[in-house]
Structure 1
């Protein structure tokens, strides 16, 4: 009897062990997907650290698109962006041994500020590697949030250089590297944005527009919505000059772009995260891009109409509404405003990009005819009554009216351009249009 019982126990034990091994293998093979309980735990971790930001109905946008447009105001977050959520959630869960050694990150913007704030709050040491080209305003912000707990190291001209040196530092010192987006706890921290949105809404949300950079926010919020509000259509939005997620989803694999436009610095990456790509391919219903010039126009509109100061990445989701104006009519729509860390010195560039995109500003190389009074003719006859010369450089030879000039002209209506060039041709002015020659345009302007 004993032998049979023992054999039976062994058999049951063997079956149990087999099932455990099988389950572990299945878990090992299963790709990561944020769980509701982990997102809920992240929300608890972030209590008293990250603000529960408001979800506000925007009257102007709602009237423009004949729908209910709500803005999730992460621009009002503790460090003026959602990045504090992921950074603190990750760092707070590190083992004590890691916290004693400190943490390292590479960032030129919002992630650096989130890490700096977390280091100060947890009273741990932090090293933040930033490109030497980082604007002073952002460096001061990191210093302010990190105080005596953070050391800022400026190195190289690009984020990639800063990241490589940060990781090399981690290998040497044993400090923990805090990735800006490709990390489970980072993703789960960002997912709390979605948790708050659904807590604050009474009616079902039909559309959710999410800005996409490395994919941490989209992966986290998207995963939460797919489990709690699966009928919501999730739209990911990238800048046209850095469509790394869109290209990867189209290719069916995570690809790296050779070059990107870094103007939308909070959402311009050459390659999205491995974890974030796998999650986003399951949760994003449609991926779109918006031109950088249109983003600039939207930033100015939001400032002038709603007194909202938003960084380029923060305006991505709102800018994409125009592409869905027919679909969203009569619907409940949420746009995540991801941040407001916009350096005031960039406003002139933002205005310039907006005018160029809207067809209201034009640059020419003008070769004046070899006759006296040609410059006066240009001003009196060629320029329209509402045209404004905003840029003028000339190369003097024998006199100013015989040399070529670089001229920037701002018009009131897009159609005014055609009358302007027609009058130049009718009065014998030879010109070269620079807006369509980006290499020459960037060099001269």
Structure 2
């Protein structure tokens, strides 16, 4: 793990802080997908928890540190999943959380943030607009700004997932990691490089939101003017330099996939794994669909990172995609 911001000792210690409800999520080989994708596929199911995404691992660390330091309030920008997770982790610790989100974020995610007791402020624009507003709130009120992927706790929380992959999976060749801001990839990636260096770490991002992938390929921060993808959870325009630095050290490749492949991946996870997932969680399957020769006969682990999806949109997407 040399060179990244993460620390192995802190990652192992994180397992003692994170509520066990977020740990040791199901990991299994999905035999029904193998003949359709041409490779063995194991699913790491990060939806089997109260916030239905991996984000709770990191927010448990953030909230515990806030409480230990006597902080009473914090603010974050969120596409929806981080906000839910931070609200859940803060609720029993007596923390006052404000979440800033785009008005166009899925209503399911916004409703859940409110239900968990956080204050929700909506902005016109996308996630990066929300991030700018969260920065302004933090500065004006003198409270902690929680930045996903930049705050090391969000990455080291995600890294505990990597420990579980190494400890519990039979030998596998590749792990496919959904890529947005980078917390999941820069958390899991260093663990695998340190403990299972033979495993290929591949990040997957929508072609309609390619900023971090383009940055990885060009080895410098590349921003985009807009995004155009149904995978709202990974739709950022402005990569964080420190996160990119870590990603450059641990990712073996970064792939961009098309919207049609994402939708087909969601449908396949429903039909052959019985899983209702949000678009970001189907990125790994989409990558296999678009790169069959590359993954042929390999054992691939795909991280199913979340299932907070708008039901009406889900039916619209799935219904339009026969397999």
Q: Do the two structures share a fold, i.e. TM-score over 0.5?
A: yes
Structure 2 residues without counterparts, runs of 5 or longer: none
- Equivalent in the alignment of 2:109: 138
So what's the TM-score if we normalise by structure 1? 0.68
2: CA distance, partners of 1:231 / 1:346: 39
Contact 2:33–2:272, Cα closer than 8 Å, also in 1: no
- Pick one of 226, 244, 247 that aligns with 2:193: 226
> Helix, strand or coil: the match of 1:257?
coil
1:2-48 alpha-carbon deviations (Å, 9 max, x no partner): xxxxxxxxxxxxxxxxxxxxxxxxxxxx9543121121122221143
- Equivalent in the alignment of 2:205: 238
- Pick one of 300, 315, 332 that aligns with 2:282: 315
Structure 1 residues without counterparts, runs of 5 or longer: 1-29, 359-445
- Pick one of 36, 48, 58 that aligns with 1:64: 36
2: CA distance, partners of 1:151 / 1:217: 26
- Pick one of 135, 140, 150 that aligns with 1:167: 135
RMSD: 2.1
2: CA distance, partners of 1:275 / 1:94: 22
- Where does 1:351-362 land on structure 2 (aligned, <5 Å)? 351=318, 354=321
1:71-105 alpha-carbon deviations (Å, 9 max, x no partner): 000122331000111122122123645523x1111
1: CA distance, partners of 2:70 / 2:234: 29
- Pick one of 142, 151, 154 that aligns with 1:183: 151
Q: CA deviation at 1:181?
A: 1.8
> Helix, strand or coil: the match of 1:177?
strand
> Helix, strand or coil: the match of 2:20?
coil
> Helix, strand or coil: the match of 1:236?
strand
- Equivalent in the alignment of 1:51: 23
Contact 2:127–2:235, Cα closer than 8 Å, also in 1: no
So what's the TM-score if we normalise by structure 2? 0.92
1: CA distance, partners of 2:8 / 2:135: 31
When residues 348 and 123 of structure 1 are mapped into structure 2, their CA distance, relative to the original with a 3 A threshold, is same
- Equivalent in the alignment of 1:27: none
When residues 248 and 353 of structure 1 are mapped into structure 2, their CA distance, relative to the original with a 3 A threshold, is farther
> Helix, strand or coil: the match of 1:253?
coil
Q: CA deviation at 1:333?
A: 1.6
- Equivalent in the alignment of 2:247: 280
Contact 1:91–1:178, Cα closer than 8 Å, also in 2: no
Higher relative contact order (CA 8 A, sep 6+): 2
- Equivalent in the alignment of 1:271: 238
Q: CA deviation at 1:220?
A: 0.6
Contact 1:34–1:224, Cα closer than 8 Å, also in 2: no
**1:35 aligns to 2:7 (yes or no):** yes
2: CA distance, partners of 1:38 / 1:64: 40
Q: CA deviation at 1:49?
A: 4.7
